[in-house]
Every structure is written in structure tokens, then in C-alpha cells.
Amino acid sequence: MILVTGAFGFIGSHLVERLLESGEEVVAMGTAPQKEDNLQVLLRHPKASNMRVIRADVTYLDAVRAVMRNAEPSVVYHLAALASHRLSRGDPYLYLHNNYNAVLAVLEAARQTEPTPKVVFASSSSVYGDNEPPLREEMTPRPKGPYAFSKLLGEQLCAHYHNEYGLECPIVRYFNVVGERSRGNIVFRVFAERIVRGEPVEVYGRSVDGVFRPAERDFTYVSDAVEGTIRVGERGEGCEVFNIGAGRPVSVLRVAELMMEKLARRVGVVFRDLQPHETLVSYSSNAKARERLGWRPKVEVEGMVERFARWFSQQTLRT
């Protein structure tokens, strides 16, 4: 039995799908009415009979403990979190309170459950802050903003529970995961929505020596991210950290151009300045995941945009 928190979110719903396809029995736990569509996708899965849906607030220890004791999962994938680097700056209390307490409840529930499951914690590349890329797991974190800080606090909780109680809680640091059913604030979706409305896309970056340079990010397709997450659940130990990213920078302007091509519509491009806390270039070293997990990203950015544009077009036709 596998428990997934945040199961109705973007990455979480794809993870549940993949686990069901591989023949696992899954407890899908979360509370997110705005993501009802993701739940409906899961309920229509051919192997949905192997899934048990639990609507509960993951920040409540009693609720999480009851689920774990009843299900006795071998692995818990903890993805439940409020996820927005930018939005967290406007409501730091909400992001810090929710994300910290969710990790704490999951780890404490796991500690009190026999047999004790392995907990895989979904962290973020944002913990690296302004470190110089390629970003490597051994770098000292420099989180900028409440969301990034909440993820670092979660990692530190994992280290504490491993050192104090021997809990196995390896950590995944995701890099710019994109794909079908992505949140509304992810750049692929933002670009696609503006393009189909005929509105100019906003490309963020920074002036370098008087020349505007678009931001570059390590876009990673959701199926690759899910495969890496499962590999961490299978092979990760202690509270070791794994970067799950494609391992190369891609200009957001390049993504905008590809999206216009795949959606067969040209719009204008407006250049905007990044916020001071946002880095211009961010990408991972995924050498550790390749060597320790045998994981390889498979989908390049052209394929990511093509798949997303096809899915987005289908969704647009339905509405």
C-alpha cells in the first residue's frame, strides 16, 4: 500500500496515476476543492478500484495518523503543500504554517505507525536561492521567500526525524515541473492561456550590460518528475537529497516561441523585470539521481510544449 498526500494536485495526481498503472494499491489523500478535475481524472482511471480517496487536512496529526494506521503504507509520498514562490511573499504566515505543519504531521504520524513507512518529502529547487548553477545537492541552501523557506524547514524536519528516530525520509527537490493539469501559475499554462486569448505573453528576465536577458529555467516534464520520485521511494535512504530536474537551462522566451508555434497563433511579447529575489538562471545537476537512482529525464522541451499544447487545446474545445 502506498499513501500519497497532495494526491489531487498537479504532480500528486500524476504520481497516483503512475502508481495505479504499475499495479500498486494507493491511498490518495488531500483536500483541494479547486482541483476537483484532477480527482475526476483519477476516479476514471482503469485501475481506480485500487485507489482509496481520503479527503482530509494533512496538517492535522490525528487525521494523518488514523489514515496511516489503517492503511499501513510501506511508502508515503508527501506532496501536499501550498505551492507558489511568488504568492507566498504576500501571505507568509499561511505558507509557512501550512507547509511546516503538514510535514510535521506526516513525519510524526509515520513515527507512531508500525510498521513505520518510508516518507518521501517533496521539496523544491527554490531552497537553493541565489547559489550559482548548476545546483548541486551539497550546496548550502539560501532560500528567498516564505515558500522556499517552508521547504527548507521541511527538509530540516526530515533530518531531525531521521537522526532522532531513525525514520527513512529521503528528499526530492523538483525543478520547474510542467505538463498536463499544471497549476494556473505555471508558465506553460500562463503562456497558453494568453496566446489563445490573443494577448501578449510576458517574458520575465533582467537587463545585463544594457541588454535584456530572458530568465532560464530547468523545465522538467511531469512524467519524468514522477518517475524520479518513485525511484527515490524505492532506492533513497536516510534523509538524503535528490535533484529531480532535466539538468539544462531553457530560456522562457524559447518556451513562449514554441507555445505560439504549437498553438498556431502569434502574439506579442512583453519583457518584464524579475523580482529582486528571483534568479536569472537556475538549473540542476542531476548527476546524483542518474548515478544513485538510475534515473534519466526523457522528454526535451520541444516535446513538453507539444504535449502540453495538445492537451490544452483539447481542454479549450471542451469548455
pLDDT of residue 84: 84
Residue 98 near residue 154, CB atoms below 8 Å: no
- For the chain, give the mean pLDDT: 95
pLDDT of residue 88: 87
Give me the residues of the chain with pLDDT under 70, please. Answer: 32-36, 317-319
* Structural domains present in the chain: 2-175+222-244 (3.40.50.720), 178-218+248-284+300-318 (3.90.25.10)
Amino acid symbol at 107: L
Find how far residue 199's CA is from the centre of its chain: 28
Per-residue model confidence as pLDDT tens digits over 231-280: 999 999 999 999 999 999 999 999 999 999 999 999 999 999 998 888 99
What is the number of helices (H) and of strands (E) in the chain?
A: 10, 14
The H-assigned helical ranges of 174-246 are 187-196, 222-235
Residue 165 near residue 118, CB atoms below 8 Å: no
Q: pTM to 2 decimals?
A: 0.96
> DSSP state, 290?
I
pLDDT of residue 259: 98
pLDDT of residue 193: 96
State whether residue 149 is helix, strand or coil.
Answer: helix
Element (H, E) at 63: helix 61-71
Classify the C-alpha dihedral 196-84-274-216 as positive or negative. Answer: negative
CA distance 230 to 252: 28
Classify the C-alpha dihedral 155-136-15-69 as positive or negative. Answer: negative
Residue 45 near residue 18, CB atoms below 8 Å: no
CA distance 229 to 188: 22
State whether residue 214 is helix, strand or coil.
Answer: strand
State whether residue 261 is helix, strand or coil.
Answer: helix
> Pick from 278, 311, 251, 318: which is nearest to 148 by CA?
278
| Distant-in-sequence, close-in-space partners of 168: CB < 8 Å, separation ≥ 6 | 116, 118, 119, 162, 236, 237, 238
pLDDT of residue 87: 84
pLDDT of residue 174: 98
pLDDT of residue 200: 98
Cβ neighbours of 302 (radius 10 Å): 13
Please give the backbone phi and psi of residue 95, each rounded to the nearest 5 degrees, phi first: -70, -45
pLDDT of residue 319: 58
Please give the backbone phi and psi of residue 204, each rounded to the nearest 5 degrees, phi first: -90, 150
